[in-house]
Structure 1
Amino acid sequence: MKVLFANKFFFRNGGSEVVMFDEMELMRRRNVDVVEFSMNDDRNIPSRFQSYFVSRKSYRASSRREKLRSALSFIHSSEAVSQITRLIRDEKPDILHCHNIYHQLTPSIVTAAAEMGVPVVLTLHDYKPVCPVYTQLSNGQVCTRCGDGAFETILARRCADGSLGRSALLWAEARYHALLGSYHRVGKFIAPSKFMYEAIVRRFGADKVVHIPNGIDASRIDTSVGDDGYALYFGRLSPEKGVEDLLKAHATAQGAWRLVIAGTGPLFDELRRKYPAAEFRGHLMGIDLERTIREAGVIVVPSVWHENSPLSILEAMAHGKPIVASRIGGIPELVRDGTTGLLFDPGDVVQLSEKVRTLLVDRSRREVFGRNARKTVENEYSLEEHGATLLSLYEDLIASVGLHRKVGS
């Protein structure tokens, strides 16, 4: 079998890339040929298929003509279609597995592959097919009005940061791909959470969507023994992550517990200025991030948007850490209230502060929750099991479309 993986970034930029690189390695270990398609970038991991990658796009044009050209390529990339068509002709993959393809690659590559007889799998890392702004947030509030494919709400409510121009562009993108049926060309959507599954089934139907949880190789992570008794948030510092709610909770606690923030993002400078009592460590990776997680007493995930299946939670659980998290989206599927952690109502600063303090003053309870979390990851979120399920999906999809020989042979 030969599988073509597509993602707009070919370096570990975020969760979608981590999942994809893990899957590619799993496939190679099962003697599956792996082909790669992405965007050129100085940060890319080397690939022998780099000559097929599209040129780098930033969408920060200055002139009106450049802005128009960028807007059009944002919706449909003729370069991406041309390059992936050439790649499919040359490599003859059995299946295309898309991850984060929006804007720089565009869903037009789905249509291109389908028209060449290549079945397509799309892993859902966010809500893009049912929400033009990805997050199911409108002006800071949870919103699912576009879930059935009627996207006009984005114009009426200016969901893209209150900007009519950006909202209109995202509406045009959604309408264009609805008209072309780009997403309907997907053979199977993979929903990492049951919550995501229900959101996508609403538009595309149950026969198009399959729930496959993300996996993690817990054997590579040693369970932490003891901790330094602080609360840790690690991840992107952006509004939907609810980090300011956590910082407010810490401020109102007036030094009752210690808070460490690891990560960067658009809110970094503002939050560091407003909340000097917290420890901001910036972007951590590798050994530094491992040590910071290992020494934490509790991991906090204060999101205010419909999180899908955060890898940060699986990583924390693999370390044997208890978690305090928002009761929203797919989070309660991972964090079992009273067993592996504690849940609170999103945006409730008082509840959040109480839950964190409850665990930080009770080391024995932290240890019990941590052991339960590690056991849950090992039993239910095995990376090897994820790979086996994925391979079975590929085989079933290829068989269902009658593709028993290589495309173009």
Structure 2
Amino acid sequence: MNVIIICESARITGGAERVAVLEALEFRRRGIRVGFIAADPIADPRLAEAGVELLLLPAKSVFEESDNQKRLHMLFSNPYVVESVREFLVNFEPRTTVVHIHSFRLKLTGAPIALAQSLGFKTAFHCNEYATICPTSLYFNHRTQTNCELSPLSLGCISCECQGQKWRHKLPKLTAHFGNKVLLKLYARADLFLAVSQLNAKTLAPHLPKEPVVVQLPFQPVLDEDRGDNDGNEFAFIGRLVPEKAPDTFLEAAKLAGVKAVIIGGGPMEESLRQKHPEARFTGWLSDAPLKAEMKQIRGLVIPSRWRETFGLSVVDAIHRGIPVISTTSVGASEVVRESGAGIVTEEITPNSIAEAMNTLNQPQQWSEMRANALAWSASNPRSTEQYVDRLIELFTPLIK
């Protein structure tokens, strides 16, 4: 078996990139040949050291191109990228190679994937977001702050100004999605769709030609010294400060519950939230060491998202650290909170419902039980990169037999 990974970045800049890099390294550790195609001239140095064959393309995003004619062409294809990928693919045997796609829409475009499919390569799409079904990739209406229920590319979808911007800003994304789905038929020709949670799979299934298969994301182990007592009195929100993540609901809930709140992250809402909630502590985005120090102190993590998050990496990271979690049902990782008993899942996304959960978690006995559940679940569910790649091999092998 050979594996070619397609991801717009070959270094860890987010959750999808982290999974792609760890996957490549683990495949190589097992002696499996790996190619990695990225729209990024810089790669994680571990990839080359491990013997991963790299194709690093300094491609622009359609939104970075100022020439309108070039932008229109880039919505469907980038000739330089396609020819470079063609030369790269020649070195791999289609009958024994699976192309695993993590991200591609903004810079690589769908054309290289269509090329791989036309050459006989098996393709697997990793659905870290909703790009396989939704033109904007989020499947969320930013104007109404509700999850989208429209049929993608229907008249309702096409006419909806769902981004909180004028419709003309949605047009390039609609055009590119139409090209990928209808003209190139990327998804009809795909062999496998990988979802990252049951919620993710349930949302995708009605709009895909094949039932998505849930694959548990890998996590790096948490060392004992990185676990604190976590018996402080602060509840934490970690993430981008945008309306769909509901940081305002978190802060209002903390005030109602009479508990201290810390915001770890940043974004467009930060200034207004600071003004409205001077009682809260804002750290901004933190690098690894300061983040670990904060995580040792917090009593609970709160994920009050309105958006139907495909997973929520911070949830499982918190549970591995013995930190109880309060999550809404809109978060894919709420499944882990329920399964582990390491927190509270609420259906209502209101300050009152979150405050009630905070009050429950603030009771010493309840908190101790949930922390114990978190540590017990972590010990029996490491969700290692090795387990993740075992599952990929199990799913990829039938494709190339």
Fold match (TM-score > 0.5): yes
Contact 1:110 1:186 in 2 (8 A): no
1:374 is matched with: 375
1:103 is matched with: 106
Q: Go from structure 1 to structure 2 and tell me whether the alpha carbon gap of 1:56 and 1:356 turns closer, same or farther (over 3 Å shift).
A: farther
- Structure 1, unaligned runs of 5 or more: 400-409
Paired letter, 1:262: I
Mapping for residues 222-371 of structure 1, pairs under 5 Å? 222-253=226-257, 256-336=258-338, 339-360=341-362, 362-371=363-372
Paired letter, 1:72: H
Query: Offset of 1:91 from its aligned partner?
Result: 4.7
Mapping for residues 12-161 of structure 1, pairs under 5 Å? 12-41=12-41, 44-46=43-45, 48=48, 52-61=55-64, 63=66, 66-92=67-93, 94-138=97-141, 139=143, 140-146=145-151, 149-161=152-164
Paired letter, 2:270: F
Distance 1:358 1:223 in 2: 22
Query: Offset of 1:123 from its aligned partner?
Result: 0.8
1:407 is matched with: none
Q: Deviations over 1:151-194 (max 9, x none)?
A: 43233221122421022222222221222211222210101111
Q: Deviations over 1:238-276 (max 9, x none)?
A: 2221212112223445xx211111112333334334332
Contact 1:213 1:381 in 2 (8 A): no
2:11 is matched with: 11
Query: Offset of 1:71 from its aligned partner?
Result: 4.2
Q: Go from structure 1 to structure 2 and tell me whether the alpha carbon gap of 1:90 and 1:313 turns closer, same or farther (over 3 Å shift).
A: same
Distance 1:134 1:304 in 2: 16
Distance 1:313 1:152 in 2: 36
Distance 1:353 1:169 in 2: 41
Moved more, 12-21 or 244-253: 244-253
Distance 1:357 1:131 in 2: 38
Distance 2:232 2:64 in 1: 47
Q: Deviations over 1:309-339 (max 9, x none)?
A: 1111110111011001112252331211892
Q: Go from structure 1 to structure 2 and tell me whether the alpha carbon gap of 1:303 and 1:110 turns closer, same or farther (over 3 Å shift).
A: same
Query: Offset of 1:390 from its aligned partner?
Result: 0.9
Distance 2:390 2:220 in 1: 14
Distance 2:366 2:391 in 1: 35
SS in 1 for 2:315: helix
Contact 1:302 1:346 in 2 (8 A): no
Paired letter, 2:259: W
Query: Offset of 1:195 from its aligned partner?
Result: 1.6
Contact 1:216 1:377 in 2 (8 A): no
Contact 1:214 1:381 in 2 (8 A): no
- Structure 2, unaligned runs of 5 or more: none
2:216 is matched with: 213
SS in 1 for 2:12: coil
Contact 1:191 1:209 in 2 (8 A): yes
Distance 1:118 1:166 in 2: 34
Q: Go from structure 1 to structure 2 and tell me whether the alpha carbon gap of 1:59 and 1:237 turns closer, same or farther (over 3 Å shift).
A: farther
Distance 1:246 1:178 in 2: 38
SS in 1 for 2:193: strand
SS in 1 for 2:236: strand
Q: Go from structure 1 to structure 2 and tell me whether the alpha carbon gap of 1:187 and 1:142 turns closer, same or farther (over 3 Å shift).
A: same
Distance 1:308 1:359 in 2: 25
**How many positions carry a matched residue from both structures?**
390
SS in 2 for 1:34: strand
Query: Offset of 1:60 from its aligned partner?
Result: 4.7
Query: Offset of 1:108 from its aligned partner?
Result: 2.4
Distance 1:45 1:318 in 2: 25
TM-score (norm 2): 0.89
Contact 2:230 2:295 in 1 (8 A): no
TM-score (norm 1): 0.87
Contact 1:120 1:188 in 2 (8 A): yes
Q: What CA RMSD, in Å, does the superposition of the two structures yield over aligned residues?
A: 2.5
Mapping for residues 177-188 of structure 1, pairs under 5 Å? 177-179=180-182, 180-188=184-192
Percent sequence identity over matched residues? Answer: 22
Q: Deviations over 1:63-107 (max 9, x none)?
A: 5xx144234314433333222222111355711111022211122
Distance 2:222 2:167 in 1: 49
